[in-house]
Amino acid sequence: MSVPDAVRRLAAEQDGLATRSQLLRAGLAPSTVTRLASARGRGQRVLPGVLALTTGALTRRQRVVAALLFAGADAQLTSVTSLELRGFRYSRREEAVHVLVTARRRVASVGFVVVHRTWRLPAPHAVAGLPATPVARAAVDACRELASEREAVAVLAEAVQRRSCTLDMLTAELAAGPSAGSAVPRRALTALAAGVASAPEHDLVRLLQRSALLPRPRVNEPVVLGSRTVVPDLCWPEARLVVEVDSVEHHGFGPDAERTAARRNALVAAGWLVLSVSPRRIREDPVGVLREIEAAYLQGRRLAG
């Protein structure tokens, strides 16, 4: 089969994929397109109206491109797919490809494509050459589908820590959308607004709420040490007690580890007690962690009194 130059360009520009209408406009006869999609052709049908111009298993990117071609010209990637494209670590991975289209479009989910329809279609961002929703929209869309507040905290906190968006932007995005599916991200945003900066910190704050002894800690609030100001994870100034969550993500290597050590040294030199707990211990030994913090708090109060 002679392949027109226009078809070759389509294949090069669209990762070896094209829609049936594109192939017809590029000069292929309807019978040729039909044969191309058949088992005996040189391509394969991927989705309704979308063909791969090669045989064999598709790459992840090809599936994403195929989903966009299926959904139409205004489609953009959203939810976990948009976050995946940006390399987010804490959003779940799915085989499905999530796309957002205007509510005026009559297109439904099929195969591995999950179609979200909206009256609030944002201006897309180009990510790896593909149209994707802004981070605030993608993160909130992803969290609407979660049952776990902890998972939502992890996703939203990562968005803020990457400086991809602000807490205010996330809050505004949630408020502008439908009420359906808003409960989990709303609780997660409340936790972030209270100072929590990661899922492990969220776990620790929730654990501390079980204590009949401990008052509410200050979370990620500045502490003035003479001419220096530090920001510990959690602290009780009345007991001169700091608790740090030792996650590799924020304290483990290179400059982050050095800054963490310098901060702790400054606290100890100023007479503060610093406890370190790992995310794993918070999960696997919550009773032990709580007892240690309560004992340290009582000791700190005695010394301060």
Q: What is the mean pLDDT of the chain?
A: 91
One domain, residues 11 and 78:
no
The one-letter code for the residue type at 127 is V
pLDDT at 22 over 60: yes
pTM of the predicted model as reported, rounded to 2 decimal places: 0.85
Residue with the larger pLDDT of the pair 3 and 184: 184
Q: Do 130 and 249 lie in a common domain?
A: no
Angstrom distance (rounded) from CA 46 to CA 50: 6
Q: How far is CA 129 from the centre of its chain?
A: 20
Q: Residue 282 is part of a domain; what is its CATH number?
A: 3.40.960.10
Q: Say what the pLDDT of residue 140 is.
A: 98
What is the C-alpha to C-alpha distance for residues 76 and 133, in angstroms, rounded to an integer? 6
pLDDT tens digits, one per residue of 55-66: 889 999 999 999
Please report which confidence band the pLDDT of residue 40 belongs to, taking 50, 70 and 90 as the band edges. Answer: low
Same domain for 72 and 188, yes or no, is yes
> Does residue 274 carry a pLDDT above 60?
yes
Domain boundary among 160, 176, 193: 193
Q: Range with the lowest mean pLDDT among 39-48, 49-58, 162-171, 260-269?
A: 39-48
* Residues 214 and 229 reside in one and the same domain: yes
One domain for residues 21 and 144: no
Report the pLDDT value the prediction gives residue 251, as an integer from 0 to 100. Answer: 47
Pairing of strands 218-219, 97-102: unpaired
**Distance separating alpha carbons of residues 109 and 71, to the nearest angstrom:** 9
Query: Region 1-15: what's the mean pLDDT?
Result: 81
> Would you place residue 254 in the very low, low, confident or very high pLDDT band (cuts 50, 70, 90)?
very low
Tokens of 204: 């620790």
Closest CA to 273 of 248, 252, 298: 298
Indicate whether 177 and 266 sit together in one domain: no
Q: With contact defined as beta carbons under 8 Å apart, do 85 and 93 qualify?
A: no
- Model confidence at 132, pLDDT cuts 50, 70, 90, reads very high
**What pLDDT digit, counting tens, does each position of 80-118 carry?**
999 999 999 999 999 999 999 999 998 999 999 999 999
Residues 75 and 189 in one domain: yes
Cα 249 from Cα 48, distance rounded (Å): 42
On the question of pLDDT at 224 being above 60, the answer is: yes
Q: Are residues 162 and 244 in the same domain?
A: no
Q: How confident is the model at residue 204 (pLDDT cuts 50, 70, 90)?
A: very high
pLDDT at 253 > cutoff 70: no
Predicted local confidence at residue 271, as pLDDT: 92
Q: Which distant-in-sequence residues (6+ apart) come within 8 Å of 52 by Cβ?
A: 16, 17, 43, 44, 46, 58, 62, 66
Q: Does 123 share its domain with 244?
A: no
Tell me the C-alpha distance between 79 and 85, whole Å. 10
HSE (side-chain half, CA atoms, 13 Å) at 190: 9
Same domain, 46 and 107: no
- Please give the pLDDT value at position 169: 98
**Same-domain check for residues 114 and 184:** yes
Q: Do 237 and 207 fall into the same domain?
A: yes
Q: Does the pLDDT of residue 277 top 80, yes or no?
A: yes
- In whole angstroms, give the CA distance from residue 6 to residue 286: 63
The letter for the amino acid at 34 is: T
- Write down the pLDDT at residue 214: 97
- Tokens representing 257 are 């580890």
Mean pLDDT check: name the lowest of 27-41, 62-76, 204-218: 27-41
Asked whether residue 221 carries a pLDDT value surpassing 90, the answer given is yes
pLDDT tops 50 at residue 121:
yes
Please count the structural domains in the chain: 3
User: With 80 as the cut, is the pLDDT of residue 291 above it?
Assistant: yes
Residues 52 and 46: beta-carbon distance below 8 Å:
yes
CA distance 304 to 237: 10
Determine the Cα angle at 150 with ends 183 and 279, to 5°: 165
> Mind listing the pLDDT tens digit for each residue in 150-164?
999 999 999 999 999
Which pLDDT does position 255 carry in this prediction? 52
Most distant pair of Cα atoms in the chain: their distance: 89
Provide the pLDDT for residue 34: 84
Looking at 193, 221, 242, the residue that finishes a domain is: 193
Which residue type sits at 167? L
Question: 264: domain range?
Answer: 199-304
Residue 245 to residues 85, 101, 108, 220, 298, Cα–Cα distance (Å): 29, 41, 44, 11, 20
Q: What pLDDT sits at residue 252?
A: 42
